[in-house]
Copies of this chain bind each other. A is one copy, B any other.
Amino acid sequence: MQDQLKSDAVIIQALRNKGYKATPQRISVCKIALSSKEHPSVQKICKEVKKTHPTVSLATVYTTLRLLKESSLIQELNFPQGQTRFDPNLEPHINLVCIHCGRIMDVNDSEAKELINKVTKKAKFTPKAQRIDIYGVCQHCSKIDNAKS
A92 closest partner in B (C-beta): B134
- Which residues 54-93 of A have a CB within 8 angstroms of B? 76, 78-80, 82
Closest to A130 in B: B134
Residue of A123, A126, A131, A134 with highest tally of chain B CB at under 10 A:
A134
Return the chain B residue nearest A98 by Cβ.
Answer: B125
Indicate whether A115 sits within 8 Å of B116 (C-beta atoms), given known contacts A99-B128, A125-B137, A127-B136. Answer: no
Contacts A131-B131, A132-B132 known; A139 to B111 CB distance under 8 Å? no
Number of copies: 2
Per-residue CB contact flags for chain A residues 103-128 toward chain B (1 = under 8 Å, else 0) read: 00101010110011011101111111
B80 touches A79 (CB 8 A): no
- Judged by a CB distance under 8 angstroms, whether A129 is at the interface is yes
- Contact check, B80 vs A107: say whether CB atoms are below 8 A apart: no
Q: Which residue of B lies closest to A145 (CB)?
A: B126
Q: Who on chain B is nearest to A109 by CB?
A: B119
A120 neighbours in B (Cβ, 8 Å): 96, 134, 136
A133 lies within 8 A of chain B by Cβ: yes
Subset of 19 A-B contacts with CB under 8 Å: A78-B78, A78-B79, A99-B128, A105-B125, A107-B123, A109-B115, A109-B118, A112-B115, A120-B136, A123-B138, A125-B136, A126-B136, A127-B136, A129-B135, A130-B133, A130-B135, A131-B132, A131-B135, A132-B132
